[in-house]
Structure 1
Amino acid sequence: MDTILKVQNIEKYYGNKGNVMKAIDNISFEVERGEYIGIMGASGSGKTTLLNCISTIDTVTSGHIFINDQDITSLKSKKLSKFRREQLGFIFQDFNLLDTLTAYENIALALTIMNIPAGEIHQRVHEVADKLMITSVLNKFPYQISGGQKQRVASARAIVTNPSLILADEPTGALDSKSAKMLLESMETLNQEMQATILMVTHDAFTASYCKKILFIKDGKIFTELIRGNDTRKQFFNQIIEIVALLGGDNSDVI
């Protein structure tokens, strides 16, 4: 198997000597190329801190994180920025599109920074836009398109650089149910047709049911994992709900 991400015994502490909080408590796991993994847990469980450490937004207190065998916990600022730009793709809850750029320009920006030739940029932007069914909005500005279209533009921006790993933080959190379903189907397409490796934090069981595997976090530790296998999405959804109940969560928060 081709291991993209290897998390080894990471811990994360916040606070000072008088008031220390352990957000991540000795977590280890691996992600293989082409996997689509969800991370779930109650508020305060450590799931967002975990994603922030993997995404290099935050740093670990101890342990190591390897992406393509590169120990990102040892990279300094300049090399870390380059690594983040070339190896990681991000999908945020609030889109993070630049209002003064068209959808096309938002998607193309990272390629432009990487000095990709204009002809190749055009081809790659249109290929990913076609996959995500947003070709018709490429010449529009973010204020001219719907929330669902904005999030698919953000998804296109995340995948267009061919990153090793896509990190999604509550990607459906700001969307209505119809837009969320369209986005999740688009992310499924990225995973199945473009072999995108996706790691997604979500509190929502419906969103999580599109994943192939779920890691459940409790009190900064991995509580359990759930693999979809050959189950239907509905069967997987029901299993997710059962584990949420075991975690002591409120089902109304995850449906």
Structure 2
Amino acid sequence: MNSQILKVDDIQKHYGNKGNITKAVDHISFSVNKGEFVGIMGASGSGKTTLLNCVSTIDKVTSGHIYIEGKDITSLKGKKLSEFRRDKLGFIFQDFNLLDTLTAYENISLALSICGQKPAKIEERVSKIAEALNICDVLNKFPYHMSGGQQQRVAAARAMVTNPAMVLADEPTGALDSQSSKMLLSMLEELNQKLSATILLVTHDAFSASYCKRILFIKDGRIFNVLHKGKDSRKEFFGKIIDIVSVLGGELNDVL
């Protein structure tokens, strides 16, 4: 039986004042189980990034509740919120955000050092994740001595080293060429399969979404449709994604 990692319960996020309210997220509910790779898809302005920002604790909901591992994160404030974000969430950014003055090992271990983990424990965790992502040979290198693919893997290792409940990625391929995009998406798939990472990926790109196991389509702040990959090949799943996108309003130019 799968354990529930995320439960989003009837959340709303409004901007503006009474005279002019924008409902960026409008009564959305869904859940994600451990080890799922879930995509959130929609055109620009659909509310998908606002939804991710609420889940990642960057933004506060207007109403409703979000539970991560059973904890109501909508009630957390200040230091408790920061600690929760640090300990339970991993982030993969478009431009990696590695610190140039630190080696790969230091970049990966930084979060553990901040938590006050003992050096022996840090070394054990970093070695394990580096082996899983095949980057043991770059641990002593600085980012500018690594290839783009190696930097991606170091960034992913940093996101995973704290054993987060969930990894969040917002348009991670947005600034990448097609080859780098494929590498990043294959690596997310690898994290999901090898390390049972629970991943929530926001994208407007059908190719990126085809790597997910389930996709929530967002339109006007609401869930418009849900698509499960099941036993489909990635090519078959991609075709079904395109079909739904065309129904969404023919915004194919926005997702290809």
Q: Shorter-chain-normalised TM-score: which range?
A: over 0.9
Q: Is the 8 A contact 2:43 2:254 kept in 1?
A: no
The gaps in structure 2 that reach 5 residues or longer are none
Once the 2 structures are TM-superposed, how far is the Cα of residue 96 of structure 1 from its aligned partner?
1.9
Assess if the C-alpha contact under 8 Å between 2:4 and 2:31 holds in 1.
yes
> Could you say if the C-alpha distance between residues 252 and 134 of structure 1 is closer, same or farther in structure 2, counting changes exceeding 3 Å?
farther
Q: Determine the structure 2 residue equivalent to 1:106.
A: 107
Matched residues in 2 for 1:219 and 1:209: separation? 22
The answer to whether the 8 Å contact 1:47/1:220 transfers is yes
1:137 aligns with 2:144: no
1:243 aligns with 2:244: yes
SS in 1 for 2:155: helix
Give me the whole-angstrom Cα distance separating, in 1, the residues matched to 2:245 and 2:40.
12
Q: How far apart in 1 are the matches of 2:185 and 2:97?
A: 18
1:70 aligns with 2:71: yes
**What corresponds to 1:156 in structure 2?**
157
Partner of 1:10: 11
Provide the TM-score with structure 2 as the length reference. 0.95
Find the residue that maps to 1:100 and give its secondary structure.
coil
Aligned to 2:191: 190
Q: Equivalent residue of 2:225, what SS? A: strand
Matches within 5 A, 1:166-205: 166-205=167-206
Supply the AA of the counterpart residue of 2:161: V
Runs of at least 4 residues off by over 3 Å: none
State the shift of 1:161 in Å.
Answer: 0.5
SS in 1 for 2:102: coil
Report the Cα distance in structure 2 between the residues aligned to 1:154 and 1:62, rounded to whole angstroms.
33
In the superposition, relative to structure 1, how do residues 21 and 179 fare at CA in structure 2: closer, same or farther (>3 Å)? Answer: same
- Identity, % of aligned positions: 68
Following superposition, the deviation at residue 140 of structure 1 comes to 2.2
Counterpart CA distance in 1 for 2:250 and 2:124 is 46
- Which moves more between the two structures, 52-61 or 170-179? 170-179
| Secondary structure at the counterpart of residue 163 of structure 1 | coil
User: RMSD in angstroms over aligned alpha carbons?
Assistant: 1.3
Superposition deviation, residue 249 in structure 1: 4.2
Choose 28-37 or 146-155, whichever is displaced more: 146-155
Query: Contact 1:11 / 1:60 at 8 angstroms: preserved in 2?
Result: yes
> After the TM superposition, which of the residue ranges 130-139 and 210-219 deviates more from structure 2?
130-139
Structure 2 equivalent of residue 217 of structure 1: 218
Amino acid paired to 2:17: N
Whole-Å Cα distance in 1 between the matches of residues 191 and 203 of structure 2?
18
How far 1:151 sits from its partner (Å)? 2.3
Match of 1:35 in 2: 36
Indicate conservation of the 8 Å contact 1:191/1:197, yes or no: yes
Measured after TM superposition, the shift of residue 211 of structure 1 is 0.6
Once the two structures are superposed, residues 124-155 of structure 1 have per-residue CA deviations (whole angstroms, 9 ceiling, x without a partner) of 21221222222232222223333333222111
**Contact in 1 for aligned 2:43/2:255 (Cα 8 Å):** no
Distance in 2 separating the partners of 1:55 and 1:175: 23
User: Take 1:250 and 1:171, find their aligned partners in 2: how far apart are those partners?
Assistant: 20
Aligned residues: 255
**Is the 1:131–1:189 Cα contact (8 Å) retained in structure 2?**
no
Q: Is the 8 A contact 1:151 1:171 kept in 2?
A: no
Partner of 2:123, secondary structure, is: helix
Verify the 8 A CA contact 1:47 1:201 in the aligned structure 2: yes
Moved more, 229-238 or 178-187: 178-187
What is the CA–CA distance in structure 2 between the aligned matches of 1:78 and 1:238, rounded to whole Å?
A: 45
CA distance in 2, matches of 1:80, 1:10: 18
Task: Name the CA distance, whole Å, in 2 between partners of 1:208 and 1:171.
Answer: 11
Indicate the larger mover: 54-63 or 117-126: 117-126
Preserved CA contact (<8 Å) 1:35 1:197: yes
AA in 2 matched with 1:71:
D
- Give, in angstroms, the shift of residue 114 of structure 1: 1.4
**Structure 1 gap segments, 5+ residues each:** none
SS in 2 for 1:115: coil
